[in-house]
Each structure stands twice: as C-alpha cells, then as structure tokens.
Amino acid sequence: MKLFLSERAPNPVRVEIFLREKGVKVNTETIDIMKEEAKADAFVQMNPMKRVPVLLLDNGTVISESVAICRYFEVLNPEPALMGRTAEEQAVIEMWNRRAELNLFLPITHVFRHAHPAMAHLEVPQIEAWSEANRPKVDEAMAIFDEQLTTHDYVAGDTFTIADITAYVAINFCKPARIEVPERFIHLNRWAERLRERPSIKG
C-alpha cells in the first residue's frame, strides 16, 4: 500500500491528519504539484483527475479523493470514530463535512488558485475576477461556522471528527490564499487555535 501526497497541499494534509488521529502509518511518496508531476503519464494512469492524494492498494486498486481515502481507513480502523457511529452521527458529520468542503474550503481554493502568481501555470485560465467573487462566499461560510461553534466544542458536535479536519485545513489555507480570518469570528478563531495544539495537527 502506498499513499501519494504533496507537501503543503491542503487535501493531502487532510488525509495525513486523519491517519495521525487513527495512529495509522502508511508508506508514502511525494508528488511535486508545482513541477507538474501529477500530470506525468504514470500518475495520470492512476488518477486521470491529476490530483493528490491517491491511495494505491496492494491489489492494484486505486482510491483518490480525500474523503474516500479517509472512509477506507475508517472502516479498517474504527477507533477513534471520526465519521460517526450511529446513523444520526454519520449523517450530521457528513453534512458538516460537506458544508466545510463546498462552502468554505472550495471558495478559499478558488481565491488562491485564481489569484496567486505561483498558480498561473497550473490554473489555466487564471481568472482574477473569479478569485474576488469568492471572497464574500468565504466570509459568509466563516460566519456560519462561527455560529455553530458558539454552542458546540467541535464543528459537528461535541467530539472531534473529519468535519473539523476539513474546516481546519480550509482555515489554515487562508494564509497562502491571502485571506484574513476576521477577529469578529471569536469562536471560529478560538476553535482553530485549540486545534493547532492537537498532536495530529502539530505533526
């Protein structure tokens, strides 16, 4: 089994945090996105989407997409449960994880990919207006998560889950995307500071 990652890329970081929470170690190989190694023929044969992370199983099965990889390891290593145990828990965690992915993380990546000069050769066409159009969406999503955290210790309730991993990686990615996390989001900022102290996140 081998896990293909890329240094500092947010989606591989999600999987790495998940595995550290589980105490699972996997052989890894680094793919340099900036050198376009994800576009090399051998890698494209594994993942035609040209993205990391990718998990290659011993039997040749290839699993890409961060949540799919995490779900694979959740089934093999059910404790600690990061995706819920009951039907209700699983549904609520999935709901908040999707909200974190689609409403927070995705707009942040659009801001980054369509404005950062280093991404010009990878994001073609790079549309600065699309970057700016996504900034208000980020602020709106932050407000929703801040409100959720006024009454819950974690994003999907009172325990740490994959939804926290996704939301944290999104917030952490604000720095390279040159997005400020407003001070008025007191609960969101406190939550992020608390998570930075987790061993799985400190690395």
CATH number of this structure's domain 87-202: 1.20.1050.10
pLDDT > 90? residue 22: yes
Contacts of residue 103, defined as CB under 8 A and 6 or more positions apart, other chains included, come to: 137, 140, 141, 144
pTM for the whole structure: 0.96
The residue extents of the domains of the chain are 2-76, 87-202
pLDDT > 90? residue 203: no
C-alpha–C-alpha distance, residues 168 and 73, integer Å? 20
From first CA to last CA, the distance across the chain in angstroms is 22
pLDDT tens digits, residue range 38-48? Answer: 999 999 999 99
Average pLDDT, the chain: 97
Cis peptide before 117 (omega within 30 of 0): no
pLDDT band at residue 8 using 50, 70 and 90 as cut-offs: confident
* Residue 105, amino acid: F
CATH number of this structure's domain 2-76: 3.40.30.10
Q: What is the mean pLDDT of residues 9-29?
A: 97
pLDDT tens digits, residue range 71-114? Answer: 999 999 999 999 999 999 999 999 999 999 999 999 999 999 99
HSE value, Cβ hemisphere, 13 Å, CA-based, for 90: 7
